[in-house]
């Protein structure tokens, strides 16, 4: 099981510095998500500074980019990192795609399926396996003259991952993706009872073995030897859980666990801007379902117990903030990283 860190938006110098420190601390990789800035330049700076660390977009927003653009970026990063990059794509929610990116958002699962097939068609053409040819309900590609085709390289098996929560997108992942970015707000019952069966159903449709699909799982891991030391992380995790819980796409998980009606309660406080009330709705019991709270010496064992055999990669959602608050925490995360990777 690999051990990664989710990196926040930053400048290139900070991204490179963080990557060097993570590599030295025994982390496996770095995920860079697309929120207030695009991920490509931060990954480039980090990859040039850390020659063994692995990188992923966790995630890059798919629909505002043509499949050709995503394929070209992934191809170039795979070549220059010597195979240490995998492309993680996500649909985002409709409001962002249509109102922030001014792009088309139709039925996200069928659109993502067509998008992945189009990206793979581009990659096949880059490998000179035949002319570019993809005809789908959303994307059509048929022109790629040789002078516009990227040069071949030694790392052409570019991994394509997608984020998936609901059954339709998860089945798409089972059919086509190399890996799944599991949502940070997840419980083990959700993974076992919803995500894995849907993934297997999608894989069965095309004769794939679902065991070959990597689960990349961000974790609200909150480490500290006292309640005071853990408090900031508890508050951050509860805020995120409340924010995600107000979204219809994710809130069904509360119903599954017996906490019915939470979405409407979260929405009231989210709309009013009352963060204290929002956090107050997330009990410690709820946090235990969606996060891991532990002493430093116990965190590795808890991660292993919960995710080994399920996750290909665990991603520390809050570790960068923890290290920023106290640089000495990097050494503690280093011990956890090495223990998890060795298990």
Q: Are residues 329 and 264 in the same domain?
A: no
Residue appearing with tokens 């640089």: 327
169 shares its domain with 216: yes
Assign 3-class secondary structure to the chain: CEEEEEECCCCHHHHHHHHHHHHHCCCCEEEECCCCCCCHHHHHHHHHHCCCCEEEECCEECCCCCHHHHHHHHHHHHHHCCCCEEEEEECCCHHHHHHHCCCCCCCHHHHHHHHHHHHHHHHHHHCCCCCCCEECCCCEECCCCHHHCCCCCCCCCCEEEEECCCHHHHHHHHHHCCEEECCCCCCHHHHHHHHHHHHHHHHHHCCCCHHHCEEEEEEEEEECCCHHHHHHHHHHHHHHHHHHHCCHHHHHHHHHCCCCCHHHHHHHHHHHCCHHHHHHCCCHHHHHHHEEEECHHHHHHHHHHHHCCCCCEEEECCHHHHHHHCCCHHHHHHHHHHHHHHC
- The domain total for the chain is 2
262-312 confidence digits (pLDDT tens): 999 999 999 999 999 999 999 999 999 999 999 999 999 999 999 999 999
Q: Are residues 187 and 272 in the same domain?
A: no
Is residue 142 located within the same domain as residue 236?
A: no
pLDDT at residue 251, rounded to an integer: 86
> Is this prediction's pTM over 0.95?
yes
User: What is the predicted pLDDT for the residue at 337?
Assistant: 98
Model pLDDT for residues 140-189, shown as the tens digit of each residue: 999 999 999 999 999 999 999 999 999 999 999 999 999 999 999 999 99
pLDDT of residue 211: 97
Asked if residue 288 and residue 149 are part of one domain, the reply reads no
Domain interval for residue 255: 228-294
Whether 87 and 160 map to the same domain: the answer is yes
User: Are both 165 and 252 inside the same structural domain?
Assistant: no
219 and 81 inside one domain: yes
Question: Residues 240, 98: one domain?
Answer: no
Q: What is the CATH number of the domain that holds 76?
A: 3.20.20.30
Q: Which mean pLDDT values do the consecutive 10-residue runs of the chain (343 residues) have?
A: 96 98 98 96 98 97 98 98 98 95 97 98 98 98 98 98 98 98 98 98 98 98 97 97 91 94 94 94 97 98 98 98 97 98 97
Same domain, 147 and 287: no
Residues 171 and 247 in one domain: no
Q: Are residues 136 and 232 in the same domain?
A: no
Q: Which of 198, 145, 148 has the alpha carbon at shortest distance from 169?
A: 198
């Amino acid at each position: 099981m690999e051990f990664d860190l989710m990196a926040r938006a930053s400048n290139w110098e900070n991204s490179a510095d963080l990557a060097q420190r993570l590599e030295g601390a025994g982390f496996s990789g770095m995920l860079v998500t697309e929120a207030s800035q695009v991920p490509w330049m931060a990954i480039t700076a980090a990859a040039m500074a850390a020659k063994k660390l692995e990188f992923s977009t966790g995630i890059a927003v798919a629909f505002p980019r043509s499949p050709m653009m995503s394929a070209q970026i992934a191809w170039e990063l795979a070549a220059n990192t010597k195979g240490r990059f995998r492309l993680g794509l996500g649909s985002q929610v409709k409001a962002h795609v249509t109102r922030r990116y001014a792009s088309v958002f139709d039925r996200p699962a069928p659109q993502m399926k067509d998008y992945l097939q189009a990206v793979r068609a581009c990659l096949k053409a880059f490998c000179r396996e035949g002319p570019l040819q993809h005809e789908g309900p959303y994307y059509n590609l048929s022109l790629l003259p040789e002078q516009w085709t990227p040069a071949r390289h030694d790392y052409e098996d570019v991994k394509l991952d997608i984020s998936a929560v609901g059954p339709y997108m998860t089945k798409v992942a089972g059919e086509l993706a190399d890996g799944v970015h599991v949502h940070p707000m997840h419980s083990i019952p959700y993974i076992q009872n919803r995500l894995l069966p849907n993934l297997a159903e999608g894989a069965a449709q095309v004769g794939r073995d679902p065991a070959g699909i990597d689960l990349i799982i961000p974790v609200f891991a909150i480490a500290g030897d006292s309640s005071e030391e853990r408090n900031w992380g508890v508050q951050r995790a509860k805020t995120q859980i409340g924010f995600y819980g107000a979204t219809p796409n994710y809130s069904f998980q509360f119903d599954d666990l017996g906490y019915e009606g939470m979405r409407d309660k979260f929405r009231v406080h989210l709309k009013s801007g009352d963060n204290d009330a929002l956090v107050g709705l997330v009990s410690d019991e709820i946090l235990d379902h969606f996060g891991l709270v532990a002493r430093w010496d116990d965190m590795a064992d808890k991660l292993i117990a919960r995710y080994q055999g399920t996750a290909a990669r665990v991603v520390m959602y809050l570790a960068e903030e923890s290290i920023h608050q106290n640089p000495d925490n990097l050494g503690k995360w280093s011990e956890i990283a090495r223990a998890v990777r060795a298990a």
